[in-house]
């Protein structure tokens, strides 16, 4: 069944509404940065740049680095903007924009986040470089997704123990 126009908003040129991107504009490997100005800081290392698009706080460059096609996109600030970016990236690869139907074969994107972060451990010095396998948001956004596999009792207890979180 086709997705309603009110649920999948496309621009007159057929691009996804907020990001102003067409499905062919992105690679399967995506680097996200918060600040739109950081996109250029990353893409200046690309060998080629084939796509440069900007709308609001969403700046996107797609090109190649050592033969690999990569997209770098800014998310702006906050979980609401990140939610928009991830949902629209998902739509770009998993919805047929002509039929407005979900594709039979779904695509998973490789998403790499580069940015600043806070830390709650006192042993991590300011300006440290961190590589993480897991991040925990202290907002309620995760509850809006099929996320029970992430929100398990063991993980919750580990977070409480590591953060010395007060439990009532």
> With 70 as the cut, is the pLDDT of residue 28 above it?
yes
CATH code at position 95: 3.40.50.1580
Going by pLDDT thresholds of 50, 70 and 90, the confidence category of residue 32 is: very high
Tally of structural domains, the chain: 1
Whether residue 33 is contained in a domain is answered as yes
Whether residue 56 is contained in a domain is answered as yes
Nearest one of 88, 92, 96, 73 to 24, comparing CA atoms: 92
Pairing assessment for the beta strands 58-65 and 48-55 based on DSSP bridges: antiparallel
Whether residue 66 is contained in a domain is answered as yes
Q: What is the pLDDT of residue 165?
A: 72
> With 80 as the cut, is the pLDDT of residue 143 above it?
no
Whether residue 7 is contained in a domain is answered as no
The average pLDDT across 76-90 equals 89
Whether residue 154 is contained in a domain is answered as no
Threshold 0.85, pTM exceeds: no
> With 90 as the cut, is the pLDDT of residue 8 above it?
yes
The average pLDDT across 154-167 equals 73
Residue numbers of the domain that contains 28: 23-139
Going by pLDDT thresholds of 50, 70 and 90, the confidence category of residue 154 is: low
Distances (CA, A) of 89 to 59, 65, 123, 143, 168: 13, 20, 36, 20, 39
φ, ψ at 83 (rounded to 5°): -60, -45
Whether residue 11 is contained in a domain is answered as no
Reported as a single tens digit per residue, the pLDDT across 35-72 is 999 999 999 999 999 999 999 999 999 999 999 999 99
Whether residue 3 is contained in a domain is answered as no
Cβ proximity of 141 and 83 under 8 Å: yes
Helix, strand, coil tally for the chain in percent (to 5): 25, 25, 55
Torsion of CA 119, 121, 126, 131, to 10 degrees: -60
Whether residue 160 is contained in a domain is answered as no
């Amino acid at each position: 069944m086709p997705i309603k126009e009110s649920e999948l908003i496309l621009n007159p040129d057929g691009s996804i509404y907020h990001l102003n991107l067409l499905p062919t504009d992105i690679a399967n490997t995506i680097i996200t940065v918060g600040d739109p100005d950081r996109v250029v800081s990353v893409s200046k290392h690309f060998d080629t740049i084939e796509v440069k698009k900007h709308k609001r706080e969403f700046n996107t460059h797609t090109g190649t680095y050592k033969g690999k096609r990569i997209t770098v996109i800014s998310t702006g600030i906050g979980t609401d903007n990140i939610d928009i970016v991830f949902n629209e990236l998902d739509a770009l690869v998993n919805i047929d924009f002509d039929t407005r139907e979900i594709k039979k074969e779904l695509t998973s994107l490789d998403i790499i986040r580069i940015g600043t972060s806070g830390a709650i451990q006192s042993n991590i010095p300011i300006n440290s470089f961190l590589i993480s396998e897991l991040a925990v948001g202290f907002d309620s956004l995760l509850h809006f997704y099929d996320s029970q596999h992430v929100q398990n009792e063991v993980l919750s207890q580990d977070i409480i123990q590591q953060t010395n979180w007060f439990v009532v």
